[in-house]
A and B are shown apart, each in its own frame.
Chain A
Amino acid sequence: DVKVTQSSRYLVKRTGEKVFLECVQDMDHENMFWYRQDPGLGLRLIYFSYDVKMKEKGDIPEGYSVSREKKERFSLILESASTNQTSMYLCASSLVITEAFFGQGTRLTVV
């Protein structure tokens, strides 16, 4: 079974803080993704990575950056957290693009 693990289930951060969300997968997948999930908006792609040190912007990259130094780990960074970044963040990995395996999600609250 593919395991995609996000480091935190819940996070509360203050406005202006730098926030790191970590994701690890154990199936040697090339592709990794970060989405945010908001009611009424579905899932929106923030960034994806198709190889170590490779990254591409998704639909809503503003205010975020990513890091992929090792194949199994993909980090999402909020450079200066703002209240409109309060959301559920989902990490996913895939071998074939069209079947993604998701982590359990991190619910981030920015106060």
Chain B
Amino acid sequence: AQRVTQPEKLLSVFKGAPVELKCNYSYSGSPELFWYVQYSRQRLQLLLRHISRESIKGFTADLNKGETSFHLKKPFAQEEDSAMYYCALHTGGFKTIFGAGTRLFVKA
């Protein structure tokens, strides 16, 4: 079955601490994976995608096919990183599957 799992509903870290938001997927084909972010009172927006291998706002995510994971990482969390983060898997055609989301709270 095609599935995206974000095991943590809430992640709370102190400012300046490293942060890792976990994402695991289940998909038999070649996955395309994304992270979306929703800041308070803002619309959901694309943060990054695995094929571009870029760093956005200090965040990176590496696709690990062996572990079927696409964890989002940032070495030093900032208060403005507090938001809801969704991992998403594109499975072909028009289908994108979203995880349940992780709320990141960065404490001062």
A: which residues have CB within 8 A of B? 4, 31, 33, 35, 40-45, 48, 50, 56, 90, 92, 97-105
List residues 28-49 of chain B with CB under 8 A from any CB of chain A. 32, 34, 42-46, 49
| The stretch of B12-20, B56-64, B67-75, B89-97 that contacts the partner chain | B89-97
| Contact between chains at A40 and B100 (CB < 8 Å) | yes
Nearest-neighbour CB distance to chain B for A89, whole angstroms, equals 12
A101 to B100 CA separation, bound complex (whole angstroms)? 19
> In the bound complex, do residue B49 and residue A50 qualify as a contact, i.e. CB atoms below 8 Å apart?
no
B86 touches A45 (CB 8 A): no
Label chain A's interface by main secondary structure: strand
9 smallest A-B Cβ distances: which pairs?
A: A43-B98, A102-B44, A42-B98, A42-B100, A102-B43, A104-B43, A98-B90, A48-B94, A42-B101
Docked-complex contact B101 and A56, CB < 8 angstroms: no
Q: Quick one: which of A4, A48, A98, A101 has the most chain B CB within 10 A?
A: A98
Number of interface residues of B (CB under 8 A): 21
**Footprint of A on B, CB under 8 Å?**
4, 6, 9, 32, 34, 42-46, 49, 86, 90, 93-96, 98-101
CB pair B94–A41 under 8 Å, yes or no, is: no
Q: Are A45 and B43 in contact (CB under 8 A)?
A: no
CB-contact partner of B45 in A31, A44, A45, A102, under 8 A: A102
Task: Please tell me if the beta carbons of B94 and A40 are within 8 angstroms of each other in the complex.
Answer: no
Nearest opposing residue in chain A for B45, CB measure = A102
In angstroms, Cα B100 to Cα A44, docked, is: 9
Task: Collect the chain B residues with CB atoms within 8 Å of residue A43's CB.
Answer: 44, 86, 98
Contact B34 A98 (CB under 8 A): yes
